Amino acid sequence: MSENLRLIREYMDAWGKIPAADLADYFTEDALYTDELGAKPIRGREAIRQELSRAEASLGDSREFGVEILRELVEGDVVVVEREEWIGSGDRRREFRAVVLFEIEGGKIKESRCYFDRDPSASVPSRREP
């Protein structure tokens, strides 16, 4: 397994297990973080830290969160991941599919661009038990 893929697997596994602000440590100082659901791209590790903290706080009591990697593609310093995410539990559980393109530099994430599946009914069936 490539070091770049190992980094991204570790980063994805950390979601929901460590404070969101600590996820920023996986990024380069001048990283670019783009989430199509966000208002605009975020530049810089500290700005990413603030955004991840804000997003975590917006979950309120719904702190249950998970990520499952469905597919991975690696080409040099680029890692592409299709993932399934879930937030909350019971009636408040929400699930989504996303594809994230990561660019790696010096063992850190230089750029992260996330695109969400707008039609989850067309997604590949989950490999996870309900």
pLDDT in tens, 3-26: 999 999 999 988 878 788 899 999
pTM of the predicted protein model = 0.82
CA-based Rg of the chain, rounded to a whole angstrom? 14
What are the tokens at 107?
């063992």
Domains of the chain: 3-117 (3.10.450.50)
Buried b (16+ CB within 10 A) or exposed e, 57-71: eeeeeeeeeebebbe
- Residue for token pair 């989430």: 35
**pLDDT, tens digit, for every residue of 81-90?**
999 887 776 7
